[in-house]
Amino acid sequence: MQILIIAGLVCFLLACKVPYSRAYESNFSKVRYELEAMRKEDPDRYKDFRYALRHIRSVNKKQAKATSVFVAKAITDHVHEKRFRYASDEHRLNFLSVIMGIIGVESCFNPHAVSSKNARGLMQVHWPTWKHYFSSEEEVHDLHRNLSVGTAILRLYLNASKNDLRTALYRYLGAKDDGYADKVISAAISFKKGVLSERLSDVPGTE
């Protein structure tokens, strides 16, 4: 099973071809332009971006505003790729909710996060285990690459768990920990409830 998971991950990552950019915090004018284009051309994605941004800022109040914009956009762009579509019937969660729950618990949406076990970035990808999928240790903190690898790992664990989210979360953590799974699922449900209950006019823009 381990060999099949690793082989599947290799194929998945080769198919992703997600660009790597180190300058996500220093190119704010470009992201504003991209968000304006998103607002006009893909309103549903733009709505998800704004909901994600509001949630990130409520969870991590100390994060620089520019960073939260880039994080919210990277997550939204990632989830809206068709290859990443996923829904949990058990918890009535869409993929955006699941990813927001995992990242909220794992890194509090901090792309620079490093754990005591050397897990890194938004999705806390364990560097010693998965380093062969990165060109350098620094690349683990790239928003798009971290999301790509972290999501690929989760997707493979979901497949191996017959799409059972809780079991997949055990595998993602590396331990059968109901406390961790409960936190992720609770955070995912909280995010989705916020999307369903809040008017879009109450959700902030990029300022």
**Rg, C-alpha atoms of the chain:** 16
Check: CB of residue 145 under 8 Å from CB of residue 134. Answer: yes
What is the amino acid identity at position 44? D
Check: CB of residue 111 under 8 Å from CB of residue 67. Answer: yes
Segment 153-176, tens digit of pLDDT: 999 999 999 989 999 999 999 999
Segment 33-71, tens digit of pLDDT: 999 999 999 998 999 999 999 999 999 999 988 899 999
Q: What are 118's two structure tokens?
A: 């050397």
2-12+20-198, what's its fold? Lysozyme (1.10.530)
What is the amino acid identity at position 199? R
Separation between Cα atoms, residue 55 and residue 104, nearest integer Å: 9
Q: What angle do CA 196, 205, 35 make, to 5 degrees?
A: 105
* Contacting residues for 146 by C-beta, under 8 A, at least 6 apart: 111, 120, 121, 122, 123, 125, 140
What is the amino acid identity at position 77? D
Helix (H/G/I), strand (E/B), else coil: 45: helix
Separation between Cα atoms, residue 158 and residue 199, nearest integer Å: 32
What does the domain layout of the chain look like in residue ranges? 2-12+20-198
pLDDT-derived band at 201, boundaries 50, 70, 90: low
pLDDT of 197 over the 90 cut: no
Separation between Cα atoms, residue 144 and residue 64, nearest integer Å: 19
pLDDT-derived band at 111, boundaries 50, 70, 90: very high
Separation between Cα atoms, residue 76 and residue 165, nearest integer Å: 20
Percentage of residues of the chain with pLDDT beyond 70: 79
